[in-house]
Chains A and B, each alone.
Chain A
Amino acid sequence: MTEIVMTQTPPILHGPSEKEKKYDRQLRLWAASGQAALESANILLVNSGTGTVGIETLKNLVLPGIGRFTIVDDAVVDEPDLGVNFFLDESCLGKLRSQCCTQLLQELNPEVKGDCYPKSKAAVDLNNILTTSPTFTLIMYTMPIKPEDLATLEAYGRQHCTPLVSIHTAGFYSYFRISLPGAFPIVDTHPDAEKTVDLRLTQPWPELVQFAEEMTQDIESLDDHAHGHLPYVVILLYYLGKWRDAHNGANPTEYKAKVEFRKTVADAARTDNPEGGEENFQEAVAAVNRSVKAQSLEPTLREVFDHELSNEAELRSSFWVIANAVKKFHDKHGALPLPGSLPDMKAESKVYVKLQSIYKAKARKDVSEVLETARAMAGGEDVDPAEVEMFCKNASFVKLVNATTDGRDLSKIYDSEKANDELAEAVGMPLSLMPIYLALSATSHNAAATIDEIKAEVSRRIPGAADDMRVLQAAQEVARAAGGELHDLSAVIGGMVAQEVIKIITKQYIPIDNTCIFDGISSRCQALRL
């Protein structure tokens, strides 16, 4: 039995490679392109303090297979390390923490290269490490950190356009903040499949119109089988045509008209058949709401179209060339390039496949028009057709993270959070977690600060804030930890940071903009732009 199957299997049918098998569960999320981006990533962790959250983060990056990591940490392993850091054991006592963690992390995935500094028990020269290492894709650092090291990392980030991630964890509290080098566009945002359906029912093109007309010219005389297998796209195009004839050419895009139009379609279903109704007409009725609509731009895409290119890197990037070409396409046609995918719907196989090819052909045509426009633009001569295709397919959901650089006055944000809290308290919604951020960041350079020291530092940044009861409680809670990490909380944050790092490296899904505050007591987080 076995042999027969094997000999019948043509060579193209061979299964996945060992690597594809190992990474199967993640390839289903970010595909080969995302995996390739991860595998060429070179990540730096500057570790300090009780040192666990950064290592937990790296664990979650080594497993999916980043290319390379480097740990900078001058701590020597001490007994308390063994009570909080899983990537150390008693044989590590007295050795360099960076070295021991690197070794145990590397065991997780032989395909990942690891490096560490310092090489011997000596002071770390961060500047020297940065200048002698291959360029880092992304840098993470944990709090507390020496102010001069922070300045060094920030300078490197500016110079090399490197995303920086700062992480601070103490007891039940944590926050992490991502600094991206300028506006960060993402094309492959993975929106929900149903959101992406774009059937162009109110703006059909000639091939689609002709196809629908051919199927419906004798709609009343179709036999039950044919009538019950008209694809809902065709049904809607037919009744939209009749609707426009009766309404001076207007489509039923307003609420009241939609309700009426839905009824028209529902009434057109045949009920004198064994099933007592028609599934395709039910699908058509259900699709009216989301698919019969005037074309409009998502605000996130509007932001992309309106973005003013501000630096050299942006001017050179193919993303902005394509965005510009798509904008021109939109200006000219009053619609975006067609994404081209057709949702499943009741239909005969042949009819569905034909309809699918009509959508695909139109999408390909739009892609080539955009490509032509892009190639005619300065800097667009060598634009990759695959990149254009990806952009056109996802155009509606392209997203600019870190779009603006303004509005980061901490006092103003705090005032607005306090104002929100008054409303939230009245309706029983969760309150702002900003007090946690304030209390933690008051210990950025002094992990073991007392309650009074924390209060003083908060007040220095936002006068009066330390008198707030919730800020006081947060300060008490931070002081309670005395700079110590809880392993469970660091595991949670290590997972959250790794997710964000993966999104940034793969340029897929949407990374946080820009700070996440986590409260391990109430088990919830808040995203804030700080």
Chain B
Amino acid sequence: MLKIWSMKKEQQKADNADAAAGKKKKVTAAQLRVQKDLSELSLGSTMKTEFPDPDDILNFVLAITPDEGLYNGGRFTFTFNMSQNYPHEPPKVRCQQKIYHPNIDLEGKVCLNILREDWKPVLNLNAVIVGLQFLFLEPNASDPLNKEAAEDLRQSRDNFRRNVKTSMGGGSVKGNPYDRVLVNHHSYFHPYYDQRGGSSAGQEGKDFEEHQGRQDQGTVEGRG
């Protein structure tokens, strides 16, 4: 057998590591990276994490409660799942509610470039979280996942705004029921949201269908 060990000894620096092997499992590269990412996270007041199992840091839930923009007043939760291949692979992120958003489809898939085609291992969880936050401030009608929502936004921002509110209240838009995500009723009836919407009231009536019985389904308030 080749004398690898003597070569190791020769190469070894004075302060080299001592990896006296124990029986215990070693922290994996993915875990270490997520630990680092988490401790460097900068969460604004609009974001909160929840760890269903605090010992499993590769899985957590992020709640976003936008305090401005079209989605103000809602609370949206996203599951984050990092595989052992993280950060070689991007985190898997899904919205847990069915929401009316051009860049999030009805199954919760999110169209965010850094979650797919533009992911690089130098990016971190903070970059993803900033990206998600941005989606609520600037929904993008170009090349959407939810075509109806995008078309709506393209044609009339006011109309889109109203439909967003309807959907956030648990109502249906174009026959499609959405999950109720409002933090409280107060923000739904906040005068700000209706102040500029006079011109297309008729359409609002058509789009809005109160959906009985959905109030408690999938809303965030109901979660423990």
Q: Which residues of chain A have a CB within 8 Å of any CB of chain B? A: 224-225, 228-229, 273-275
Contacts and interface: CB of A to CB of B under 8 A. Distances in A.
A520 to B, nearest CB: 16
Interface in B113-164: 138-142, 154
A229 B154 CA distance: 15
A58 B139 CA distance: 61
Task: Determine which residue in A224, A228, A274 has the highest number of CB atoms from chain B within 10 A of its CB, and name it.
Answer: A274
Contact of A228 (B138, B139, B142): B142
10 contacts: A224-B142, A225-B142, A225-B154, A228-B142, A229-B142, A273-B142, A274-B138, A274-B142, A275-B140, A275-B142
Interface of B: 138-142, 154
A224 B150 CA distance: 13
B112 to A, nearest CB: 12
Contacts of A228: 142
Nearest to A348: B143
A273 B154 CA distance: 12
B140 A225 contact: no
Given A224-B142, A274-B141, 10 more contacts: A225-B142, A228-B142, A229-B142, A273-B142, A274-B138, A274-B139, A274-B140, A274-B142, A275-B140, A275-B142
A229 B143 CA distance: 9
Contacts of B140: 274-275
Chain B contact residues: helix, strand, loop or mixed: loop
Contacts of A225: 141-142, 154
Contacts of A273: 142
A274 B140 CA distance: 6
A274 B150 CA distance: 13
Nearest to A278: B142
Closest 5 pairs between A and B when the two form their complex, measured CB to CB = A274-B138, A274-B140, A228-B142, A225-B142, A275-B140
A438 B138 CA distance: 71
A274 B138 CA distance: 6
Contacts of A229: 142
A275 B142 CA distance: 9
Contacts of B154: 225
A224 B142 CA distance: 9
Contacts of A275: 140, 142
A274 B141 CA distance: 9
Nearest to B102: A274
A194 to B, nearest CB: 17
A228 B140 CA distance: 12
Contacts of A274: 138-142
A304 B64 CA distance: 65
Task: Determine which residue in B138, B139, B141, B142 has the highest number of CB atoms from chain A within 10 A of its CB, and name it.
Answer: B142
Nearest to B103: A274
B218 to A, nearest CB: 27
A225 B140 CA distance: 11
Nearest to A228: B142
Nearest to B134: A274
Contacts of B139: 274
A166 B142 CA distance: 61
A393 B58 CA distance: 49
A275 B141 CA distance: 10
A144 B142 CA distance: 70
B161 to A, nearest CB: 15
A210 to B, nearest CB: 27
Contacts of B138: 274
A273 B141 CA distance: 10
A229 B142 CA distance: 9
Nearest to A276: B138
A159 B73 CA distance: 87
A101 to B, nearest CB: 34
B39 to A, nearest CB: 30
B62 to A, nearest CB: 22
B140 to A, nearest CB: 5
Nearest to A224: B142
Contacts of B141: 225, 274
Contacts of A224: 142
A340 B140 CA distance: 34
B37 to A, nearest CB: 25
Nearest to A346: B143
A229 B141 CA distance: 13
A283 to B, nearest CB: 13
B113 to A, nearest CB: 9
B176 to A, nearest CB: 23
Nearest to B150: A225
A279 to B, nearest CB: 9
A225 B154 CA distance: 9
A228 B143 CA distance: 10
Nearest to A223: B154
A4 B142 CA distance: 37
